[in-house]
């Protein structure tokens, strides 16, 4: 997977008024498409995930990029990117459904408690 260093978030608006989020930065890695240290702009982002190595973004073209150090002028870059992605309805993938888990646990506990009282 390629790593982007010195990256910045770009928010682009299409003619139709759709907001797209892209990342621009320098590629670190061995990819024949990009000589090391090439400056690139990704296709629009479709999602992201957080793991032990940091943040990974996924693009419309199916590429994944690990985000290294952001551009020094971008304060709180990762947090701002997550907020932008959330505004566009893009959230990190998760198998955990907090609503189901809470309601199921509550309903079962409530039934047990009601059975003991009744």
Per residue in 13-32, pLDDT (tens digit) is 888 888 889 999 998 877 66
In three-state secondary structure terms, 8 is strand
Domains of the chain by residue range: 2-117
Q: What is the mean pLDDT of the chain?
A: 78
What pLDDT score does 55 carry? Answer: 92
* pTM, full prediction: 0.68
DSSP-derived secondary structure for 9-68: EEEEE-TT--EEEEEEEEEES-BTTB-TT-EEEPSPEEEEEEETTEEEEEETTS-EEEE-
> Mean per-residue pLDDT for 98-105?
45
d(CA 86, CA 92): 9
Is residue 8 very low, low, confident or very high in pLDDT (cuts 50, 70, 90)? Answer: very high
d(CA 31, CA 33): 5
Per residue in 82-100, pLDDT (tens digit) is 888 887 765 555 444 444 4
């Amino acid at each position: 997977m390629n790593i982007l260093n010195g990256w910045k978030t770009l928010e682009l608006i299409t003619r139709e008024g759709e907001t797209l989020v892209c990342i621009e930065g320098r590629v670190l890695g061995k990819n024949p498409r990009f000589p090391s240290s090439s400056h690139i702009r990704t296709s629009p982002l479709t999602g992201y995930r957080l793991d032990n190595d940091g943040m990974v973004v996924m693009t419309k073209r199916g590429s994944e990029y690990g985000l290294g150090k952001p551009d020094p002028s971008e304060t709180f870059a990762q947090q701002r990117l997550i907020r932008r992605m959330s505004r566009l309805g893009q959230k990190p993938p998760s198998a955990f459904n907090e609503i189901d888990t809470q309601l199921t646990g509550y309903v079962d506990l409530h039934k047990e408690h009601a059975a003991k009282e009744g």
